Amino acid sequence: MRTRIATVGLWVALGLLSVGCAGLNERVLDSKTETLRARSIQTRVFDTADRERTLRDVIATLADLDFWVEKADATLGVVKGSKSGVTLTVTVASRGRTQVVVRANAQRGMSPVEDPEAYQRFFAALEKAMFLTAHQID
């Protein structure tokens, strides 16, 4: 009887220990995030061939939004900035000869930002800086 109680106790303890633990796979790969949905809210296409100018527009937009630009790399096409605990990484890549793809990833504290509204605000500010309309990626 005692051993049975001890065994049940052990399983309950183990069960409780595993509750609330994000798995390694989930933490490292963000495997619970819906990749396609995230990609569509974080990405916009602009009709310009000038990737470097777009990167400079991203820098100007971050400065306008009171973000602090921490990194900028023309070869990788990456700009990173932060404000009030929110970190934003923006990448700019060429798409064919006439378009660029801009993707923004935001993080606050220990969580990725999944609110579409946040990305819409960023792209609205970027559109103004670029004098171009952002298209959803197909």
Partner 1 sequence: MTRQPVASITVLLGLLLLAGCAPQVSQVLTPPEDMLAQRQFQTKQYESADEDQILRACAALLQDMGFQIDEGTSRLGVILGSKMRDANSLTTGERAAVAVLTLGLLVGGYTAPLALLLVDKMNSQPVRIDVGIFTRKIDAEGNRVAVRIIFRETEYKNGQPALPQVIKDAAIYQDAFDRLSKALFLEAWES
Q: Residue from 1, 85, 97, 131 that binds partner 1 (CB under 8 A)?
A: 85
Q: Residue from 13, 52, 98, 135 that binds partner 1 (CB under 8 A)?
A: 52
Judged by CB under 8 A, which stretch of 12-20, 37-45, 95-103, 121-129 contacts partner 1? 121-129
List Cβ<8 Å contacts ≥24 apart for 120-129. Answer: 122/61, 122/65, 122/88, 123/44, 125/61, 125/64, 125/65, 126/44, 126/57, 126/58, 126/61, 126/102, 128/61, 129/57, 129/60, 129/61, 129/64
113 binds partner 1 (CB under 8 A): yes
Give the span between the Cα atoms of 78 and 91, in whole angstroms: 5
Judged by CB under 8 A, which stretch of 16-24, 33-41, 42-50, 69-77 contacts partner 1? 69-77
Q: Residue from 10, 23, 70, 133 that binds partner 1 (CB under 8 A)?
A: 70
Please report, as residue ranges, which positions from 27 to 46 form the binding site for partner 1 (by CB under 8 A). none
93 binds partner 1 (CB under 8 A): no
134 SS3 class: coil
Judged by CB under 8 A, which stretch of 21-29, 30-38, 39-47, 63-71 contacts partner 1? 63-71
33 CA to centre of own chain: 11
